[in-house]
Amino acid sequence: MISLLKALFEDTQHLEDEISEIEEKLAECRAAMRKFLTENPEFNYLQQSSSWVDPEVDAIAKDIIASIKKDK
């Protein structure tokens, strides 16, 4: 029983580490996207409608654009 709990704890810790790594990479991607959109105002993402754009990516981009406008 103890070895089972120990293995479960190790798996949980491994998953938490992976989640942290993914969150860090997402933050880096958001920062890069924000930098690109700030430096390229002619790129009007909101007027593009492509069915290949992932809805989650679309939502992130719109959130970043809104925060850029708010910062100005």
Instruction: Kindly tell me if the per-residue pLDDT of 28 is higher than 60.
Output: yes
Cβ density class 15-37: b for 16+ within 10 Å, e for less: eeeeeeeeeeeeeeeeeebbeeb
Average pLDDT over every residue of 6-17: 87
In this predicted model, what pLDDT tens digit does every residue of 35-56 receive, in sequence order?
Answer: 887 887 776 655 555 555 677 7
Question: What global pTM score does this model have?
Answer: 0.55
- Domain ranges for the chain: 2-71
Residue 72 has pLDDT above 80, yes or no: no
Q: Cβ distance 45 to 63 under 8 Å?
A: no
Q: Would you state the pLDDT for residue 13?
A: 87
What was the pLDDT predicted at 7? Answer: 84
